[in-house]
Structure 1
Amino acid sequence: MILLCGGCFGIAGIAANDSTTAGADKTSTTRPAAPEPPAAAPPAPAGEPQPPKPADPPKSDIAPAGSPVRDGKFEFVVTRVDPPVKTVGDNQFLSETAQGQYILVHVNVSNIGDAPRGYFGSNQTLYDDQGRKFTNDSMAEINVNDHMSVDINPGNKVSVTLVFDVPPGAVPATLELHDSMFSRGAKVALR
Structure 2
Amino acid sequence: MEEPPDGESGRGARVAVLIGAAIVLVSLCCCAAAVAGVVTWGDDAYRWFTNERGDTVAVGQAGRDGAFEFTVSRIDCGVSQIGDSFVNQSAVGQFCLAEMTIHNVGKRPATFADALQRGYGPDGDRYAPDSAAGILANSEQQLFQNQINPGNRVTGVVVYDIPPDSHIAELELHESEDTAGLRVKA
Cα drift, residue 172 of structure 1:
1.3
Q: Which protein has the bigger helix share? A: 2
Q: What does residue 144 of structure 1 align with?
A: 137
Are positions 1:132 and 2:115 aligned together? no
Q: What does residue 112 of structure 1 align with?
A: 105
Q: Secondary structure in 1 aligned to 2:107?
A: coil
How far apart, in 1, do the equivalents of 2:92 and 2:158 lie? 16
Unaligned runs of at least 5 residues, structure 1: 1-58
Q: How does 1:29-44 map to 2 (within 5 A)?
A: none
Q: How does 1:6-155 map to 2 (within 5 A)?
A: 62-90=56-84, 92=86, 94-145=87-138, 146-147=141-142, 148-155=144-151
Contact 2:109 2:150 in 1 (8 A): yes
Normalising by the residue count of structure 2, what TM-score does the alignment of the two structures yield?
A: 0.66
Contact 1:84 1:104 in 2 (8 A): no
Cα shift readout 1:149-176 (whole Å, capped 9, x = no counterpart): 2111111110010100000120211010
How far apart, in 1, do the equivalents of 2:150 and 2:126 lie? 31
Unaligned runs of at least 5 residues, structure 2: 1-52
How far apart, in 1, do the equivalents of 2:149 and 2:64 lie? 16
The percent identity for this pair of structures is: 36
Which amino acid letter does the alignment assign opposite residue 133 of structure 1? R
> In the comparison of the two structures, how many residue pairs are matched?
131
Match of 1:173 among 169, 173, 176: 169
How far apart, in 2, do the equivalents of 1:151 and 1:80 lie? 23
Which amino acid letter does the alignment assign opposite residue 73 of structure 2? T
Cα drift, residue 62 of structure 1:
3.0
Which amino acid letter does the alignment assign opposite residue 104 of structure 1? L
Q: Secondary structure in 2 aligned to 1:169?
A: coil
Contact 2:104 2:153 in 1 (8 A): yes
Normalising by the residue count of structure 1, what TM-score does the alignment of the two structures yield?
A: 0.64
Cα drift, residue 91 of structure 1:
5.2
Q: How does 1:150-165 map to 2 (within 5 A)?
A: 150-165=146-161
Root-mean-square deviation over aligned CA pairs: 1.8
How far apart, in 1, do the equivalents of 2:158 and 2:179 lie? 18
Q: Secondary structure in 2 aligned to 1:172?
A: coil
